[in-house]
Amino acid sequence: MDLPLVVRILLWPFSVIYGVYVRARSWLYRNGWFQQKHLRGKVISVGNLTLGGTGKTPMVMWLAEKFFAQGKRVAILSRGYGGSGGTSDEIELMKHRLGSQVTFGVGKDRFAEGQRIEAATPIDVFLLDDGFQHLQLARDVDILLLDGSRSVQQPLLPAGDLREPVGACSRADLIVVTRKTERRDIEAMFSHKFSIFYAQTRLLGFRRLPGDDRLHYVSEIGPGPFFAFCGIGNPQGFFDDLSHWHVPIAGKRSFRDHHRYSAKDLHDLKREALRAGAIAFVTTEKDACNISDAAEFESPIFAAAIEMAMSSESEFDATLERKLAAARGARA
């Protein structure tokens, strides 16, 4: 959130109250006053400290594909935030990319969803999507993502973007810094305590909406210029990626995370694009799940398909396996 200074000052007392709550809640779980619930399969949590936009969904898909390659049976547990009817834009995106290889459990009670899945089929690995604050479910490994393009030194909600104080990083087993190849300040704060890795967004290609699953290179989608739009947690990250991929942009617009596009939204976007001189549109795969009238959209819309690219991948794999083995030993 980019709030004016005066608004942040007015909201600061509420951030203090919120901070007392989250610290107390964490302390109660850490000291056994609140009991965590255990599933039979291994649980790997992927989460963050801030509101959206750190790359949790690409990270979950990357891990799922990694475990598939090892012959593991994988399930993903998600709240399905911003959706309804047992699904959401992020769930639909993961289903589209992962297909029938994974079982999904969607709902507020992730433990109950995990139990339901285990009653039907054995699961080797549960991936707990956006799970860092979901303390009710015990996990074997906590992977914490930090957006390298954002400062971690900011207020708690609602004055800032932090869901928890920076000190909550102490619960993590691995820290992954996304969108950067290095962050010396984060390393100075945490490298003596945590295993720190770096991950970047890699472009797989563009899919034309609606219904075209073929991936097109940047050179195949036309010279542009394009109008970029998205409704994700960190829209500037997407716009920066487009610049890095050398996609010519004539204009851009961001919406709230999980925004569902109405006919009026599409009409307004066409008008803005025309005014900016754009001849086509680019958006994210997640946003593509929230556009129901793409077939009636006269101008081409291309959705960027991405994946996570981990620096020092072999070292990350070895560290993850070591953490999982240590967790299994502790539970035995």
How would DSSP label each residue in 284-305?
EHHHHTTBS-GGG-SS-EEEEE
pLDDT at position 192 is 58
Is residue 7 assigned to a domain? no
Judge if 180 and 210 occupy the same domain: no
Is residue 150 assigned to a domain? yes
Judge if 187 and 211 occupy the same domain: no
Long-range contacts, 169-173 (Cβ 8 Å, 24+): 169/49, 169/144, 169/194, 171/26, 171/132, 171/142, 171/144, 172/132, 172/142, 172/143, 172/144, 173/141, 173/142, 173/143, 173/323
Residue ranges in the chain whose pLDDT is less than 50? 332
Instruction: State the helix-helix crossing angle for 56-69 and 89-98, rounded to 10 degrees.
Output: 30
Per DSSP, which regions of 22-179 are E strands? 42-48, 74-78, 102-106, 125-129, 141-147, 174-178
Is residue 14 assigned to a domain? no
Judge if 163 and 276 occupy the same domain: no
Is residue 114 assigned to a domain? yes
Rg (C-alpha) for the chain, rounded Å, is 20
User: How far is the C-alpha of 217 from the C-alpha of 5, rounded, in Å?
Assistant: 42
pLDDT at position 39 is 97
In sequence order, the β-bridge partners of residue 142 are 45
Instruction: Give residue 259's domain range.
Output: 201-306
Judge if 241 and 256 occupy the same domain: yes
For 158-212, what is each residue's pLDDT tens digit?
999 999 999 899 899 999 999 877 777 777 777 657 788 999 999 999 999 988 8
Is residue 162 assigned to a domain? yes
pLDDT at position 86 is 79
Residues in contact with 91: Cβ distance below 8 Å, sequence separation at least 6, in sequence order: 78, 80, 83, 104, 106
Judge if 91 and 188 occupy the same domain: yes
Is residue 5 assigned to a domain? no
Judge if 251 and 164 occupy the same domain: no
User: Left (φ > 0), alpha (ψ -120 to 50) or beta: where does 246 sit?
Assistant: left
Instruction: Write phi, then psi, for 39 (nearest 5 degrees).
Output: -95, 165
Judge if 301 and 242 occupy the same domain: yes
Judge if 288 and 256 occupy the same domain: yes
pTM exceeds cut of 0.85: yes
Domain of 134: which CATH number? Answer: 3.40.50.300
Judge if 327 and 189 occupy the same domain: yes
* Burial of 31 (C-beta count, 10 Å sphere; 0-12/13-18/19+): exposed
What's the number of domains the chain is made of? 2
Per DSSP, which regions of the chain are E strands? 42-48, 74-78, 102-106, 125-129, 141-147, 174-178, 195-209, 226-230, 249-254, 280-284, 301-310
User: How far is the C-alpha of 67 from the C-alpha of 62, rounded, in Å?
Assistant: 9
Judge if 120 and 194 occupy the same domain: yes
Is residue 22 assigned to a domain? no
- For residue 14, the surrounding DSSP H or E stretch is helix 5-30
Is residue 20 assigned to a domain? no
Q: Would you say 231 and 289 are in contact if contact means Cβ atoms under 8 Å apart?
A: no
Judge if 53 and 64 occupy the same domain: yes
Judge if 207 and 318 occupy the same domain: no
